Amino acid sequence: MATTATPIVEDVPAPSSTRRERTGWYFYDWAMSAFSTTVITVFLGPFLTTVTKLAAGCELGADTCSGYVYPLGIKVAAGSYFPYLVSLSVFLTVFVLPVVGAVADRSAHKKRLLAAMAFIGAGATVGMLFVTGDRYLLGGALFLVANIAFGAGVVVYNSFLPLLGGPDDRDGISSRGWALGYLGGGLLLAVNLVAVTMLGEEGNDQRTLDLARWSIVSAGLWWAVFTLVPLRWLREHPTAVALAGLRNRRGNPLTDGFRQLGRTLRQLKAYPLTLFFLLAFLVYNDGIQTVIALASQYGTEELRLGQSTLIVTILLVQFLAFGGALLLGALAKRIGAWKTVLLSLVLWTGVILAAFRLPAESPLPFMALGAAIGLVLGGSQALSRSLFSQLIPAGREGEYYGFYEISDKGTSWLGPLAFGLVFQLANSYRVGLVSLLIFFVVGFVLLLAVPMRRAILAAGNTPPRVL
């Protein structure tokens, strides 16, 4: 199955970076994670759904509403508007991310591209301030821009990782970045939840809506302000191709990026083991993302838990994921990232089985399970990212992380689809949850089948001492 391919850039010096530069890189995770937690996880869905219901003629605070809106003349149930937007953003992201990655590899000014994506996304998020009354179309458009820019920024951000340290350093660098992201995202979310709790008024739905809007805006401001740190402390790491273009003063990074992307798509078959790793990641990460997305629904619908329990559990997951990322990062230094990720998938399997047996109306066991998720969540994601950095041909970091981000976000509908189909057949959230075991079991088997050392050598890279 394996073939040894010649890397695109030869005689690449061992990557190195200063502590200041690595800290700057970590801070972009701190900056952007506020969008994931405050906006996507908690506030935007209910906020935009309420605005859409108002546009459909529903009264604010109404428990049920069967109204419709007509974006671009298409009849859409008010409650379906936000899920459809999420699907559309994922669809568009699949086309945007590899192009952004290719442009990043061809540009000698990668930080400018990171700044553009961050400030476009943050600006669109702050623009939610103007989504008042029934302006659901404005809210939908701003969300599409913000979410696509967020994904594109992640691609550029991740493409710095292989350039900040050698093969033995990347697990630790990735884990610290992921840990700081969970800490930053959790901190702003905690502040917003406290503000909503203290400033909200019972029965005043308009005030609740306004507080949600300002919470979303705060995430955009947080994202923009803290992005200034990596823009100041990170150094440019242009590829040899980008430097050649700069010296010759010819070519355009955008058009060259499109051409390079076409060449890469044709040459992907030269790195079958890298693709096989992506397949394994696609499967088990889909299970992880589905657990994250459906945990609140499982808690409310099946376990009949209150909103306060869910809020505490969300915060618990965020802050424990900080320690979990560092803990698994330290373990990877001893036994290797590949073995640590495999171990994390075994732990995820245990989480699913424990969730199936959780008693209803019992907050403490649910919180304990949330704590377990937090400990394993950050590490499994951070180490998957650093493992993939070993499988990228030199000079193509942006492009390959574009494909990686598609595997991360672009296929995250498979798990929810399986969950939904099983629930529809069995009419049980518990059975639906157990159906997710297939993603962790199959993902484990696929990852176990990847000969990591041979895959790293096939990409033209030096394997770390411990895998």
pLDDT (tens digit, 9 = 90+) per residue, 266-304? 777 788 999 999 999 989 988 888 887 777 768 877 888
User: Residue 141's pLDDT band (boundaries 50, 70, 90)?
Assistant: very high
- pLDDT exceeds cutoff 90 at 259: no
Alpha helix positions (H), 298-396: 307-335, 337-356, 363-389
Q: Strands of 281-320 (E only): list them.
A: none
Tokens for 185? Answer: 């995202």
User: Tell me: the pLDDT tens digits for 298-321?
Assistant: 887 788 888 778 888 888 888 899
Region 66-82 average pLDDT: 85
Q: What is the mean pLDDT of the chain?
A: 85
Is the Cβ–Cβ distance between 459 and 7 less than 8 Å? yes
Report d(CA 89, CA 48) in Å as an integer: 15
Helix (H, G, I), strand (E, B) or coil at 186: helix
pLDDT confidence of residue 1: 39
pLDDT confidence of residue 9: 40
Among 317-321, 405-409, 413-417, the range scoring the smallest mean pLDDT is 413-417
Query: pTM (2 decimals)?
Result: 0.85
Tell which wins on pLDDT, 350 or 423: 350
- pLDDT exceeds cutoff 90 at 457: yes
pLDDT confidence of residue 26: 96
Tokens for 367? Answer: 């919180």
Region 376-380 average pLDDT: 87
Report d(CA 139, CA 184) in Å as an integer: 25
Which is it for the CA torsion 446, 447, 448, 453, positive or negative?
Answer: positive
One-letter amino acid for residue 15 of the chain:
P
- pLDDT exceeds cutoff 50 at 225: yes
Tell which wins on pLDDT, 226 or 10: 226
- pLDDT exceeds cutoff 80 at 371: yes
Is the Cβ–Cβ distance between 299 and 366 less than 8 Å? yes
Cβ atoms within 10 Å, residue 111: 18
Report d(CA 448, CA 6) in Å as an integer: 25
Cα torsion through 355, 360, 366, 368, rounded to 10: -90
Which residue, 373, 400, 380, 396, is CA-closest to 444?
380
pLDDT confidence of residue 422: 77
Among 152-161, 317-326, 335-344, 431-440, the range scoring the smallest mean pLDDT is 431-440
- pLDDT exceeds cutoff 60 at 202: yes
Helix (H, G, I), strand (E, B) or coil at 195: helix
DSSP 8-state assignment for residue 14: P
Alpha helix positions (H), 18-80: 19-34, 44-55
Report d(CA 143, CA 218) in Å as an integer: 15
pLDDT confidence of residue 242: 59
pLDDT confidence of residue 410: 57
User: Residue 261's pLDDT band (boundaries 50, 70, 90)?
Assistant: low
User: Residue 411's pLDDT band (boundaries 50, 70, 90)?
Assistant: low
pLDDT confidence of residue 2: 40
User: Tell me: the pLDDT tens digits for 86-119?
Assistant: 878 888 887 888 888 888 887 778 899 999 999 9
% of the chain beyond a pLDDT of 70: 87
Q: How many residues does the chain have?
A: 467
Rounded to the nearest 10 degrees, the angle between the axes of helix 307-335 and helix 272-297 is 150
Report d(CA 183, CA 323) in Å as an integer: 9
